[in-house]
Amino acid sequence: MLLGSHMLRIIVTLATAIVTAVPALIGSARAQSFGSSYTSTAEKDCRITNTGRDSSVSVCPGKAGLIVLVTEDDLRQTVSVGRNRKAAENEPAASTGFSPFNSTNATIEWRTVDGKPFAIIQRWMIADIDAPDKGGRPTDKACSW
């Protein structure tokens, strides 16, 4: 019986500790608000800063002071984000692209936590040279990255 009484005391002590600790833990956990919003990379919404024979560079407004840099060269686009053009040019995304001809959708979705962007969702159209249309031109396949 003594062992049973001792076990009961331990269980009550642990239960009391848990009941006391849980509100403190819950109170210290901060609720985060996730959201999404959109910006445009359409020509009318951006500043075209450089155009060449087969290339262009567009600087578009983003969220929270960020800019979106869209570059096109030889019918291939890259999209990068930064605080300014130089920062966006130095991001890995600025020098990463797809081999086939491609283009981007003009809408960027921004994912946020407490109003601060942490990711973008960009939809791409990738030319499929293995599935030409009736005219022999590559068809597009939509991709999200």
Over the stretch 86-103, which tens digit does the pLDDT of each residue have? 999 999 988 888 888 888
User: What residues does each domain of the chain span?
Assistant: 1-30, 34-144
Residues in the chain: 145
DSSP state of 83: S
Task: Report the chain's mean pLDDT, rounded to a whole number.
Answer: 79
| pLDDT-based confidence at residue 79 (cuts at 50, 70, 90) | very high
- Give pTM, 2 decimals: 0.68
Interval 120-139 mean pLDDT: 77
| pLDDT-based confidence at residue 136 (cuts at 50, 70, 90) | low
Provide the 3-class DSSP secondary structure of residue 72: strand
Q: DSSP secondary structure string, 88-145?
A: HHTSGGGG---SS-EEEEEEEEEEEETTEEEEEEEEEEEEEEEEE-TTSPEEEEEEE-
Rounded CA separation 79/103 (Å): 10
Taking phi first (over 0 means left), then psi (-120 to 50 degrees means alpha), and beta for anything else, what does residue 118 get? alpha
